[in-house]
Amino acid sequence: MHYSTVLVRLKKFFTKKKIIWAVILLIVLFSIWFFFLRNSSNDSIQTAKVVRQDVKKTVLTTGQVVSSIDLALSFQTSGFVRRINVKEGDIVKAGQTLAVLDKGGALASLESAKGALAQAEANYQKILAGATFEDIAVTQASVNYYSTSLENAKQDLENELPDAYNNANTAILSYTNILFSNPQTLPQFSIIGTIQTNSQAISDINSNRTEINNILKTWQSDVLTLNESNIEAITDSSIQNLSTISNYLTNLLLILTAYTQITSGGSQTTVTTYASGVATAKSTVDTAKASITNLKQAKKSAEANLVSAEASMALKKAPARPEDISIALAQVLSAQGQVHTAETILNNTVIYAPISGTITEVNIKLGELATAGAEVLKLLNVAELHTEAQVSEADIASIVIGQTIDNTFDALGPDKHFQGKVLTVNPASTVVSGVINYKVTGSLENITLIKPGMTANMTVLVTEKKEVLIVPTSAVINKNGKKFVRVIDDPKEKTYHEVEVSTNLEADGGLVEIISGLTAGEEIVTYIK
């Protein structure tokens, strides 16, 4: 064969081989796409069926077992413990004596009250009989004594008021004039040039000194016209004047003692001397104020005593009037009340069981001093228990009275369930760890296994529905305020289209009720990677 012919044939052979290999490569690539890439895309879509089933919504919370009757018992009076008749765990009956205090003081008070009652009754009989000559003479002596005391108190006050003015005036002139230029006309603090101080404080003290000058002028005029008719008013104004002057001296003393820096030419010793003088003036003024205040009170006391003595004299001289008899009788009744009070105090030295129940705490010892109102015993009625829990504000709107509660208890294990009902929902909130909560209580069956204080895991059944269409919550998507579910068109290719739906109950288990848009059996998309 010719050499050129061989070359042509070989060239055609290799050209056919290239075509074959190209076809094989395309087949392989298509297979990879068909079996791997396409399936991988489909596998990224997770689906579920629209089904019809029973659903429910619950609220889970953790609480405690609490006794419906949880009483903290205490003595209603203080005293030393003399007897304790119970211990923790004892079952007691209503009215049983639980603990007793020392009764010595209470018994003495009762005897004293009985004595006062006897005295009131004797006085009542005396009123009925009328006063004796001796009684009238004694009462007249009291009237005379208190009358003299009142006159002396008035005279003492009349003598003291001018002295108080003179002492205050002398104190101002002797100890503060040196600090001012023109102290009686246009007072200006005169040591400001040598001592560094606060300009506002100096301005205030200058104004105060002008006010003091005016007060002293008015006060001098008042004491010169002092008489029995105006002594009350002048006494009150004098006390007020002394208070104002004392405050002025206090402020002046603060300025002097507050100086911390002496400028050139100043003398700290001079300032200290001025401050000492002002302190002496203030002491004089305060003493005068205290003296007048005491004399005013002495006068008032003398007046009250005289009024009382004169009233007593009038009463003794007058025949027994119906109202006098009524008063004496009222005193008898009051004394009887004191006896009853003392009897109550005596009874308060004993703690009686107000109800039948179980003693859970004893917080006292024999000989110990018990304080009135302090808890010493705790009494529970373990036959009447309920649960209490805090429910967050996110769930509280779902809780209403009467809903069923499924309870489990940590102490009894998760397999033992006890039913109850929601009893109360407290409208007042409580903040727990920064979260707003509301207290919910639930009923409990009377079961001896359940003890106060146990941890209760409460599942409140909010609502339940039978045979409703449901889908996983993840299947519902929100767009522009509407809800959609992606319904599978081709289960094999996993193609889908979106359907608008209406939902209702968001149930436990991540399920949501569908009320329109879907039918049972449809396959829907729940997740796309």
48 in a domain, yes or no? Answer: no
Choice among 88-92, 190-194, 443-447 with the minimum mean pLDDT: 190-194
Let me know whether 176 and 311 are in one domain: yes
Let me know whether 154 and 205 are in one domain: yes
Let me know whether 215 and 184 are in one domain: yes
Strand ranges (DSSP E) for 336-490? 350-352, 357-362, 369-370, 375-380, 385-392, 404-409, 413-432, 435-443, 455-472, 476-479, 482-490
Let me know whether 117 and 234 are in one domain: no
Let me know whether 229 and 332 are in one domain: no
- Residue 40: the pLDDT is 42
Let me know whether 221 and 313 are in one domain: yes
Q: By residue range, what is the domain housing residue 16?
A: 3-43
Residue 317 pLDDT grade (very low, low, confident, very high; cuts 50, 70, 90): confident
Let me know whether 266 and 191 are in one domain: yes
Rounded Cα distance between 169 and 217, Å, is 10
Convert the pLDDT of each residue in 450-483 to its tens digit: 888 899 999 999 999 999 999 999 999 999 999 9
Three-class secondary structure of residue 451 per DSSP:
coil
Let me know whether 309 and 359 are in one domain: no
Rounded Cα distance between 520 and 53, Å, is 10
Rounded Cα distance between 238 and 216, Å, is 10
Let me know whether 222 and 329 are in one domain: no
Let me know whether 83 and 229 are in one domain: no
Q: Which run of H or of E encompasses 503? A: strand 495-507
Q: Judge contact between 241 and 167, C-beta under 8 A.
A: no
Helices (H) and strands (E) in the chain, counts: 9, 22
49 in a domain, yes or no? Answer: no
Residue 433 pLDDT grade (very low, low, confident, very high; cuts 50, 70, 90): confident
When computed from its CA atoms, the radius of gyration of the chain, rounded to whole angstroms, is 50
Rounded Cα distance between 183 and 205, Å, is 11
Convert the pLDDT of each residue in 188-228 to its tens digit: 556 654 455 566 777 777 777 888 888 999 999 888 998 88
Which CA distances in Å does 93 have to 90, 96, 450?
A: 10, 6, 22
Convert the pLDDT of each residue in 130-163 to its tens digit: 777 887 888 888 888 888 888 888 888 888 899 9
Q: Judge contact between 407 and 66, C-beta under 8 A.
A: no
Let me know whether 91 and 126 are in one domain: no
Residues 264, 268, 274, 279: is their CA dihedral positive or negative? positive
Three-class secondary structure of residue 403 per DSSP:
coil
pTM of the predicted model over 0.75:
no
Residue 509 pLDDT exceeds 70: yes
50 in a domain, yes or no? Answer: no
